[in-house]
Amino acid sequence: MRTVLTVAGVAVSTAMLADMLMLGGGIQQSFGELLESRGYELRVSPKGTLPFDTEATIPGWGTLRDSVEGVVGVGRVAPVLAMSVSAELEGGEAGGSGDVTRTLGLGLDAGNRSLYEVVEGDGPGVGEVLVDARLAEALEVGPGSRMRLGIASEFGTWGRSASVRVSGTGDFVFATARDMPVAMPLADLQALSGKEDEVSFAMIRVGADADPEAVRAGIAGVADRVEVVTLAGISDKLDERLSYFRQVAVILGSVSLFVAALLIGTITAVSVSERLGVIAAVRAIGVARRRVVGDLAAESVVLATVGGGIGIGLAVVVAGYLETILAGLPGLPVAVRFFVLRPESLATAYGLVIVSGGVAGLVPAMRATGREVTELLHREEP
Amino acid sequence: MSIIVTARDVTRDYQRGRTRVRALRGATVEVRRGDFLAVTGPSGSGKSTLLHLLGGVDVATSGEVSFLGEDLGRLSVEARAALRLREVGLVFQRFHLLPMLTAIENVELPLAAARVPRRERRDRAAAVLERVGLADRLRHRPSQLSGGQCQRVAIARALANDPALVLADEPTGELDRATSRRVLTLFQELNASGTTLVVATHDLELAAGATRRIEVVDGSTRP
Amino acid sequence: MRLAAALVAGLFHFAVPVVAASSVGGETGSVHPDGGMPQQGRVSCPDDLQVLVERPYAARAGIEAGSTIRLRSAPDAEPCPALVAGLFEPQADPSKLMGTRPRVLFHLPHLQALAGREGEVDYFTVQLRPGVDAATAARDMEPLLVGTQVWRAADVVDRASTTFRVVSRFHAAIAGITLVAGGVFLACIMVLKVQERRAAVAAARLAGIPRRILMGWTVAEAALLSALGGVAGLGVGFAASAAVNAYYQRAYDTALVFSIVTGEMVVQGFVLAVVLGLGAGVVAGARLFATDPLEQLGR
Ligand SMILES: Nc1ncnc2c1ncn2[C@@H]1O[C@H](COP(=O)(O)OP(=O)(O)OP(=O)(O)O)[C@@H](O)[C@H]1O
Ligand SMILES: [Mg+2]
């Protein structure tokens, strides 16, 4: 009974610890992977902002592009204009269904498909949009449908709008739970918004043998009014903003470890004190202290190993549950995971629990066997 | 007849908080090979203490204990433990068997500690258990055995390493009269086949069954 | 001197760092006019340009009341000199917590001139007469203002606090797990305590004390134990809450309260602890009485 309870307690604590370890570095890792998967090593954005941060734009893009492309080591330059748009299904009576959806519009260079994967149909040509698959489903549109797009500010919609054809649907890499983006040619969105020569940010691919950091410095040298960041820089910024979760992870992780150790320590202490007679007898027989201590500590290691093993399984389940909760955080790409199932974090949690369980068991074992054999015998033999 | 252990004028003081308890004040004993010595005396007189000194479980405050010619007072804790493992068998009033181990595993314990190979361990433990009449209880755990059977397992454990000396402290203290008699018979059989025994006891019948007897009164021995 | 909140969204650069125009939420509702496409009109520096700068940022950037700073509406626009008329304490607004961009307040006409958007606003707020239902008013208003959306302040607030609601749910989930761990721990300790006292309880049962009473004692003891633990835990909770507030208020330089221990929570926590204790007591007690007293007295 008590063994079952201890194992259960250790399992829950281990699960918590493992989850906190996953949470600790999870966001940064998964976001970093997401960024890297795009194959562009640098981002150029308005000073003081990060891509998708604000509706701020870089004006005079044509000129800036020329100077950026002149920097040694710069490979491909892919500008993006991102802004809130309103989308309305076309057709039916009175020219519209009346349901207006606000979403994120992305203006992309022809051939730049790095921000989405096409699910159905094709990428957008002139006068076309590619719609987020979730949005397409909600609006019941597919390739060939027509939509009316307008420009939306944070709190309202502006007048100008354009009728566009849906070229296909896709999964957007940086889509958030709320933003289900649509992609269209950069020039189309610039024309629609009147931001003819502006972009929100640009992604830059570095040449095969160029050092991203050197290229970053190079671009910063010719374009002093923009922010040039490496992917690591973006990850760090994000991490800074989500530092709360890291702190929570550290605190709760240590508390969990402490609880697991306390539980194992208590159980070992009690079972050792119950068996003082046997311990005394075994020592009197001549079994070395080291061996007795080792056997007692081994018991707590077994408790920790079994409880921890169950806990690791539990951790995966609990992480899934906590992930669904945190997925509701606004403004984070859906693809970013808070809890990344990394073998290292699971192994670290498991190892920590086993080691601290062993230590927690070692303490009472050392104390019990540290006493004089005769004293123990005197107490245990009436 | 060769001498196994001698204690000459030994004392043993216990420090309990501020007070000092003198458990033994000048005890002298000589145990020879083949002895079956009973140590009797009132409760608290120092019988257990004397046994512990003879077996090297404890060391004397003053006086000398010589075990097979070796001065126990000069040995380190580990050296005494190793000596006990090889040469001393211990039997306790409360058996002190490991509850999660079977009878044979309990008997194997000192053999394992002495690094006897697994195979040989099994065979020797089984043989000793057969000697104490428990050949059909090898796989039972202590909770599945009666008190008398447990004590016989404990005696088998004490005999496992083929020690020069077996010390039994109140071995029948937890047993009824009939069972106690069977333990005495077992001791007598073992003694007849060459085992040297020292038994501390209140049990007059057991004491009477020994070949020699000393009395401890108030920390001193009387022949 | 009356400073209107500047409402045009845009970027303003002075020296090197960035300052965004601030937006201030309304009390009852916001209406967004159909202003047509924003046009980058002619930018002219208003005379007597005065602004308020957010205090924490000003402290970091070494700006004081009376300093002169240069502002521009875009990185390549002509800078305009502006007098810092004063500093303001930023409102405790959860949605601004994660944002790192400091805010500057303008006279509305000044910002409009600076951004070349004369006659435009991004939104405005409307205060309703007492007794008017905001939802109804919003619905009635929208058709009158073509091309706008009317939001209730409650909806705006709701959107802004999503982060905090999600974090609260996360906390609740963590609390649930902690509760399970605590319950298991407690049950474990109670089982141990009960086992320690097996012989005494067995003797009591043989002496004829009814099982019900012994069970009652066991359960009461467990409840008392966890109640004590609960009180200690509440103490730790209060201290932790104070520490959390102190830390995050410093870290984010805000007056927002991050952790509140309400009376309801105290009661909840305490009741949960006691209930958990009762549960653990029952588990331990059931265990104790499952065996025969004679057997418990044996070896
Ligand atoms: N480890 C110890 N610490 C303190 N005092 C001790 C210790 N061991 C024995 N004593 C004391 O030394 C005295 C002798 O004890 P011992 O156990 O040798 O007596 P005994 O003859 O075996 O008694 P019994 O017949 O009750 O077993 C007693 O007063 C006892 O309280
Ligand atoms: Mg004694």
Q: What is the DSSP string of A129-187?
A: EEEEHHHHHHHT--TT-EEEEEEE-SS-EEEEEEEEEEEEEEEETT-BSS---EEEEHH
Distance of alpha carbon A273 from alpha carbon A330, whole angstroms: 54
The average pLDDT across C256-268 equals 81
pLDDT score, position C54? 85
- Which atom of ligand 1 lies closest to the CA of A375? 1
Distance of alpha carbon C41 from alpha carbon C162, whole angstroms: 36
> 3-class DSSP state for residue A85?
strand
- The verdict on a CB contact (< 8 Å) between A291 and B113 is yes
Supply angle C-alpha C143, C146, C150, rounded to 5. 65
Distance of alpha carbon B176 from alpha carbon B168, whole angstroms: 17
- Determine phi and psi for B31, rounding to 5 degrees: -115, 125
Distance of alpha carbon A374 from alpha carbon B21, whole angstroms: 14
The Å distance, Cα B23 to ligand 1 centre, comes to 6
pLDDT score, position B190? 94
Q: Which ligand places an atom closest to the C-alpha of B216?
A: 1
Q: Which residue has better confidence, A282 or A139?
A: A282
In this complex, which of A277, A288, A378 lies closest to B96 when CB atoms are compared? A277
Residue with the smallest CA separation from ligand 1 atom 24 is B43
The Å distance, Cα B140 to ligand 2 centre, comes to 29
Range with lowest mean pLDDT among A17-21, B61-65, B84-88, C28-32: C28-32
- H helix or E strand, kind and range, residue A380: helix A373-380
Range among A10-19, A373-382, C266-275 with highest mean pLDDT value: A10-19
pTM of the model: 0.73
Report chain C residues whose CB lies below 8 A from the CB of A48.
17-18, 100-101
Which chain B residue has the Cα nearest residue A373?
Answer: B57
Alpha carbon of B26: minimum distance to chain A alpha carbons (Å) = 19
Query: Any CB–CB contact under 8 A between A328 and chain C?
Result: yes
Alpha carbon of A13: minimum distance to chain C alpha carbons (Å) = 7
Answer yes or no: are the C-beta atoms of A217 and A139 closer than 8 Å. no
How do C124-126 and B212-217 pair as beta strands?
A: unpaired
The Å distance, Cα B43 to ligand 2 centre, comes to 7
Would you place residue A149 in the very low, low, confident or very high pLDDT band (cuts 50, 70, 90)? Answer: confident
The Å distance, Cα B207 to ligand 2 centre, comes to 15
Answer yes or no: are the C-beta atoms of B9 and B27 closer than 8 Å. yes
Q: Is the dihedral of CA A344, A346, A347, A349 positive or negative?
A: positive
Give me A148's structure tokens: 């009316």
Answer yes or no: are the C-beta atoms of C84 and C68 closer than 8 Å. yes
In this complex, which of C9, C169, C185 lies closest to A259 when CB atoms are compared? C185
Would you place residue A159 in the very low, low, confident or very high pLDDT band (cuts 50, 70, 90)? Answer: low
The average pLDDT across C44-68 equals 85
Residue with the smallest CA separation from ligand 1 atom 8 is A378
Report chain C residues whose CB lies below 8 A from the CB of A2.
188, 191-192, 195
Query: Any CB–CB contact under 8 A between A322 and chain C?
Result: yes
Would you place residue A379 in the very low, low, confident or very high pLDDT band (cuts 50, 70, 90)? Answer: confident
Q: Is the pLDDT of residue A61 over 90?
A: no
Ramachandran bin of A148, using left for φ above 0, alpha for ψ from -120 to 50, beta for the remaining angles: beta
Distance of alpha carbon B190 from alpha carbon B211, whole angstroms: 13
Enumerate the domain spans of chain B.
Answer: 3-222
Query: Any CB–CB contact under 8 A between A156 and chain C?
Result: yes
Report chain C residues whose CB lies below 8 A from the CB of A88.
none
Q: Which residue has better confidence, A75 or B3?
A: B3
Terminal Cα-to-Cα distance of chain A (whole angstroms) = 29
Range with lowest mean pLDDT among C31-40, C83-92, C129-138: C31-40
Rg (CA), chain A: 30
Label residue A5 exposed, middle or buried (CB < 10 Å: 0-12, 13-18, 19+): buried
Query: Any CB–CB contact under 8 A between A380 and chain B?
Result: yes
pLDDT score, position C292? 67
Q: How many alpha carbons lie under 13 Å from residue A350 in its C-beta half-sphere?
A: 17
Distance of alpha carbon B162 from alpha carbon B166, whole angstroms: 9
- Which atom of ligand 1 lies closest to the CA of A379? 1
Residue with the smallest CA separation from ligand 1 atom 16 is B46
The average pLDDT across C268-280 equals 84
Give me B18's structure tokens: 């501020």
Query: Any CB–CB contact under 8 A between A287 and chain B?
Result: yes
pLDDT in tens, B112-123: 999 999 999 999
Which residues are A85's β-sheet partners? A103, A151
The average pLDDT across A336-347 equals 86
Which residues are A32's β-sheet partners? none
Would you place residue C38 in the very low, low, confident or very high pLDDT band (cuts 50, 70, 90)? Answer: very low
- At the top level of CATH, the class of B3-222 is alpha beta
pLDDT score, position A104? 85
Q: What is the DSSP letter of B222?
A: E
Chain C segment 145-204 residues within 8 A of A by beta carbon are 147-149, 151, 159, 162-163, 165-167, 169-170, 173-174, 177-178, 180-181, 184-185, 187-189, 191-192, 195-196
The average pLDDT across A268-274 equals 85
Which chain B residue has the Cα nearest residue A289?
Answer: B78
Pick the residue of B57, B72, B162 with the most A CBs within 10 A to test the interface with A by mutation: B57
Q: Which ligand places an atom closest to the C-alpha of B47?
A: 1
pLDDT score, position B53? 95
Q: In Å, how far from its chain's centre is CA C177?
A: 21
How do B212-217 and B36-40 pair as beta strands?
A: parallel
pLDDT score, position C26? 29
* Percent of chain B at pLDDT exceeding 90: 90
Alpha carbon of C147: minimum distance to chain A alpha carbons (Å) = 6
In this complex, which of A278, A372, A381 lies closest to B169 when CB atoms are compared? A381
Range with lowest mean pLDDT among A275-284, A313-322, C110-119: C110-119
Answer yes or no: are the C-beta atoms of A203 and A166 closer than 8 Å. no
Answer yes or no: are the C-beta atoms of A298 and A144 closer than 8 Å. no
Place of tokens 């019988």: B47
3-state secondary structure chain C: CCCCCCCCCCEEECCCCEEEECCCCCCCEEECCCCCCCCCCCCCCCCCCEEEEEHHHHHHHCCCCCCEEEEECCCCCCCEEEEEEEEECCCCCHHHCCCCCCEEEECHHHHHHHHCCCCCCCCEEECCCCCCCHHHHHHHHHHHCCCCCEEEHHHHHHHHCHHHHHHHHHHHHHHHHHHHHHHHHHHHHHHHHHHHCHHHHHHHHHCCCCHHHHHHHHHHHHHHHHHHHHHHHHHHHHHHHHHHHHHHHHHHCCCCCCCCCCHHHHHHHHHHHHHHHHHHHHHHHHHHHHCCHHHHHCC
Would you place residue B104 in the very low, low, confident or very high pLDDT band (cuts 50, 70, 90)? Answer: very high
pLDDT score, position C15? 23
- H helix or E strand, kind and range, residue B149: helix B147-159
How do C11-13 and C18-21 pair as beta strands?
A: antiparallel
Terminal Cα-to-Cα distance of chain B (whole angstroms) = 19
Chains interfacing with C (3 or more CB pairs < 8 Å): A
Distance of alpha carbon B151 from alpha carbon B134, whole angstroms: 11
Give me C293's structure tokens: 């007293």
Report chain B residues whose CB lies below 8 A from the CB of A299.
none
pLDDT score, position A76? 87
The Å distance, Cα A234 to ligand 2 centre, comes to 76
Would you place residue C101 in the very low, low, confident or very high pLDDT band (cuts 50, 70, 90)? Answer: low
3-state secondary structure B80-139: HHHHHHHHEEEECCCCCCCCCCCHHHHHHHHHHHCCCCHHHHHHHHHHHHHHCCCHHHCC
pLDDT score, position C4? 26
Amino acid (one-letter) located at B11 = T
- Which atom of ligand 1 lies closest to the CA of B46? 18
Distance of alpha carbon C256 from alpha carbon C124, whole angstroms: 25
pLDDT in tens, A184-222: 999 998 888 888 888 888 888 888 888 888 888 888 888
pLDDT score, position C299? 42
The average pLDDT across A278-305 equals 90
pLDDT score, position C7? 26
Report chain C residues whose CB lies below 8 A from the CB of A98.
none
Which chain A residue has the Cα nearest residue C187?
Answer: A5
Report chain A residues whose CB lies below 8 A from the CB of C24.
none
In this complex, which of C34, C184, C196 lies closest to A12 when CB atoms are compared? C184
Q: Is the pLDDT of residue A328 over 90?
A: no
Give me A45's structure tokens: 């954005």
Nearest to A276 by CA among A379, A124, A169: A379
Q: Is the pLDDT of residue B38 over 90?
A: yes
Nearest to C74 by CA among C24, C21, C118, C22: C21
Order of strands across the sheet that contains B197-200: B88-91, B165-169, B197-200, B36-40, B212-217, B220-222
Q: Which ligand places an atom closest to the C-alpha of A374?
A: 1
Q: In Å, how far from its chain's centre is CA A240?
A: 13
Range among A10-14, C225-229, C268-272 with highest mean pLDDT value: A10-14
The average pLDDT across C209-220 equals 84
Report chain B residues whose CB lies below 8 A from the CB of A377.
48, 52, 57, 92
- The verdict on a CB contact (< 8 Å) between A281 and B81 is no
Contacts of C55-63 with C-beta under 8 Å, sequence gap 24+, read C55/C87, C55/C88, C55/C89, C55/C90, C56/C90, C56/C102, C56/C253, C57/C17, C57/C19, C57/C102, C57/C103, C58/C84, C58/C87, C58/C102, C61/C15, C61/C17, C61/C102, C63/C87
Q: Which residues line ligand 1 (CB under 6 A)?
A: A 374-375, 378; B 14, 16, 21, 23, 41, 43-49
| Other Cβ atoms within 10 Å of C247 Cβ, number | 13
Nearest to B170 by CA among B14, B41, B21: B41
Distance of alpha carbon B126 from alpha carbon A101, whole angstroms: 84
> 3-class DSSP state for residue B142?
helix
Give me C88's structure tokens: 């303001």
Supply angle C-alpha A269, B147, B48, rounded to 5. 70
Q: Which residue has better confidence, C104 or C163?
A: C104
In angstroms, the Cα distances linking C194 to C190, C197, C205 are 6, 5, 14
Which chain C residue has the Cα nearest residue A245?
Answer: C167
- Determine phi and psi for A264, rounding to 5 degrees: -65, -40
Nearest to A201 by CA among A373, A348, A24, A50: A50
Q: Which residue has better confidence, C131 or C158?
A: C131
